[in-house]
A and B are shown apart, each in its own frame.
Chain A
Amino acid sequence: MFTRDQLDALQEIFNIAMGQGANRLARLIETFVVLSAPKLYSLKSQADPELSKRLGDTPIIATRQSFVGPLRGEVVIFFGMNGANELAELMGYSQDGGDAQRIKEELILDVTNILVGACITGLSQQLNFTKSSFSTPGLLVEGKTVAEALENQRLPQDSEALLVEIQFKIEAHAFFCELLICIANESIATVVTAVDKLLKGV
């Protein structure tokens, strides 16, 4: 488990990383993006009851994307079910035909890719790791509650996970999501070492 100091340091790292992410997102969709300061929680595993408690029992869309490199793991993002439509227009999906559901899903995957990219790239840069590579993002569940969503997933019960809660607003539309950054056990030591090195340097 991370110590208080390590968590504080990681909090700072994510502040910077997500700030960069929001900046890039704003430039991409040419709209003002407001990002709340990410809140960090350390979880013992994805099945931690804290997660269900924080996300409640409203239906969600969950996506996942893997990252490989010096950091190995997966990010699971939980989105609220609505709020995607306005974003779709900003992301250039309006003139593209096809059914609304598919567009929404593709959009959610695009946002997942951007958030995960910003988050993990930022983390790697701050910790002086070499670049990570990413897998295709995928849809994990749709229209279920967090408890239901996690029920049937074969998630390791003993791995470390960071829950990063971010909230971003695009113009008038609040878009809310939670990032669950799950770092594989073999990478945890690397992160701890890098964070400690950073703390000593301060």
Chain B
Amino acid sequence: MSFEQKLLENVLQQISMGIVILDQDCRICFWNEFMQINSGEANAIDKSIFDVFPDLPRSWFKKKIDTVYTIQNMAFTDWKKRPYVFRFPTSRPMTGGLDVMYQNATFSPLTDEKGEVTGVLIMITDVTEVAEQTLQLEQLTARLEHEKQEQKKLIVKLEEAQNQLLQSEKMAAIGQLAAGVAHEINNPTGYVYSNMGSLGHMVNDLLAVIEVYEQQFEKVGDAAVRDAVNKAKEEYDFDYLKEDLVTLVNESKDGIERVKRIVQDLKGFSHVGESDWQLADLHNGMDSTLNVVWNEVKYKAEVQKDYGDIPRVQCIASQINQVFMNLIVNAAHAIEKQGVIKISTGLQGDMVFIRVSDSGSGISTENLNRIFEPFFTTKPVGKGTGLGLSVSYSIVQKHHGRMEVTSKPGEGTTFTIWLPVTQPEEEAGEE
């Protein structure tokens, strides 16, 4: 062996990559120290590569060798697609997270002077270090991506919460406005009401006096006087006047009584200064609410009440009334022409339920899952904000209750609110 050959042999043995030369039958013609150390096989020369590495995928490896022979071209393997060609222990046994040596391999044809392929040179590069880092980076990227998605979801939730907050602020503002208006109307309504009462008595008294006049009038003999009075009576349609005066006064009394009740209910509904937890009679709340929204309901539905025996419930009454309002208005909207809205209440254990059923158009199954989503509405543009039920839902949740819905398209929908009679202590104290 010449000096150059020795040097070359030495270089091949020492180089820190795997060098294997195979013939067409996959017999090992040469391999260097790197291969020997990592495989632990001392006498590999002339053995079949499949004997030395029994778990080598045979048909794939054979094809790779054939490729180099027939195409007379290089072939490659990439650790990303195939982590290793030869199963060697990892080059980072202590600090690494992988248990095998990741490898890139190059298969090169060795040709003689005639250009015929005489062997395949396999070069194995240890890329465990790079693989570790790349895999870690990939994990990190995946984790970041996951966190990003979570944050996206959170942002959506936050937006929803903010919108609900806006909506409840709006409702609170409307409530205050209504209360203000109710208060302003309350005084004039008060004295008109009391005046109407007096007026009623006075009209009756007046009519009694006139009755006496009438009786005395019969006795008057002067034809001129009788003519003048009868003429005046006819001209002003005295008989009708007499009848209508009483009716008008009674109707006005009735009217002002209704104004008074609505003002009272409006005050009750908005509960100015009562955004605190209190023990409230839900039946009162429901009746007030029904009065406030009566206009929406009266032409559409007959309201059937089936109130059970329920105790006073610890709640924020104005908010619960808002929930009632949403449910009643929705029920009325669901009824196209004429229908029935049933309202029933009851007590089960320490929970009360308020059930609002309508005989309306119902909700399709695909929409049923979405009705509590903010901004989800099937009403025409401008009719609904899509916030009513989502706000109701969050109010009920805040009260540690729950909301249930069942619906059959074409038959109607039933909403049931379950509320605990008393709130868990720490929560009620906070509000």
Return the contact of A28 from the options B57, B60, B66, B106 (Cβ within 8 A).
Answer: B66
B82 at the interface (CB under 8 A from A): yes
B74 at the interface (CB under 8 A from A): yes
Task: Give Cα A113–Cα B77 distance, bound, in whole angstroms.
Answer: 10
Q: Is the CB of B74 within 8 A of A134?
A: yes
The smallest beta-carbon distance between B328 and chain A, in angstroms, is 53
- Closest B-chain residue to A135, C-beta based? B76
Q: Is the CB of A24 within 8 A of B71?
A: yes
Task: Give Cα A124–Cα B295 distance, bound, in whole angstroms.
Answer: 91
The smallest beta-carbon distance between A8 and chain B, in angstroms, is 27
Task: Give Cα A139–Cα B82 distance, bound, in whole angstroms.
Answer: 14
Say yes or no: A136-B106 contact (C-beta < 8 A), given A27-B70, A105-B81, A113-B76: yes
Task: Give Cα A109–Cα B79 distance, bound, in whole angstroms.
Answer: 13
Say yes or no: A109-B59 contact (C-beta < 8 A), given A114-B71, A136-B106: no
Task: Give Cα A110–Cα B107 distance, bound, in whole angstroms.
Answer: 12
Say yes or no: A121-B82 contact (C-beta < 8 A), given A28-B63, A93-B60: no
Mask, B55-66, CB within 8 Å of A = 1, is: 001111011001
The count of chain A contact residues (Cβ–Cβ below 8 Å) is: 25
Which residues of B have CB within 8 Å of A109? 76, 78, 81
A73 at the interface (CB under 8 A from B): no
User: In this complex, which of B57, B75, B76 has the most chain A Cβ atoms within 10 angstroms of its Cβ?
Assistant: B76
Which residues of A have CB within 8 Å of B59? 92, 94-96
Interface positions of A from 1 to 51, Cβ below 8 Å from B: 24-25, 27-28
The count of chain B contact residues (Cβ–Cβ below 8 Å) is: 21
Task: Give Cα A138–Cα B59 distance, bound, in whole angstroms.
Answer: 23
Mask, B329-354, CB within 8 Å of A = 1, is: 00000000000000000000000000
Q: Is the CB of B82 within 8 A of A106?
A: yes
A91 at the interface (CB under 8 A from B): yes
Which residues of B have CB within 8 Å of A134? 73-74
B104 at the interface (CB under 8 A from A): yes
Q: Is the CB of B82 within 8 A of A28?
A: no
Say yes or no: A91-B63 contact (C-beta < 8 A), given A24-B71, A118-B73, A136-B104: yes
Mask, A106-140, CB within 8 Å of B = 1, is: 10011001100110010000000000011011100
Interface positions of B from 63 to 109, Cβ below 8 Å from A: 63, 66-67, 70-78, 81-82, 104, 106
The smallest beta-carbon distance between A94 and chain B, in angstroms, is 7
Say yes or no: A138-B78 contact (C-beta < 8 A), given A92-B63, A95-B58, A96-B59: yes
Binding site for B on A (CB under 8 A): 24-25, 27-28, 91-96, 102, 105-106, 109-110, 113-114, 117-118, 121, 133-134, 136-138
The 7 A-B pairs at the shortest CB distance, nearest first, are namely: A117-B73, A92-B63, A92-B59, A106-B81, A96-B57, A136-B76, A24-B71
7 other A-B residue contacts (CB within 8 Å) besides A28-B67, A28-B70, A113-B75: A28-B71, A96-B59, A110-B67, A117-B71, A117-B74, A134-B74, A138-B78
Would you list 29 pairs from A and B whose C-beta atoms are within 8 A, ordered by A residue? A24-B71, A25-B71, A27-B70, A28-B63, A28-B70, A28-B71, A92-B59, A92-B60, A95-B57, A95-B60, A96-B57, A102-B81, A102-B82, A106-B78, A106-B82, A109-B76, A109-B81, A110-B67, A113-B73, A113-B74, A117-B71, A117-B73, A121-B72, A121-B73, A133-B74, A136-B76, A136-B78, A136-B106, A137-B78
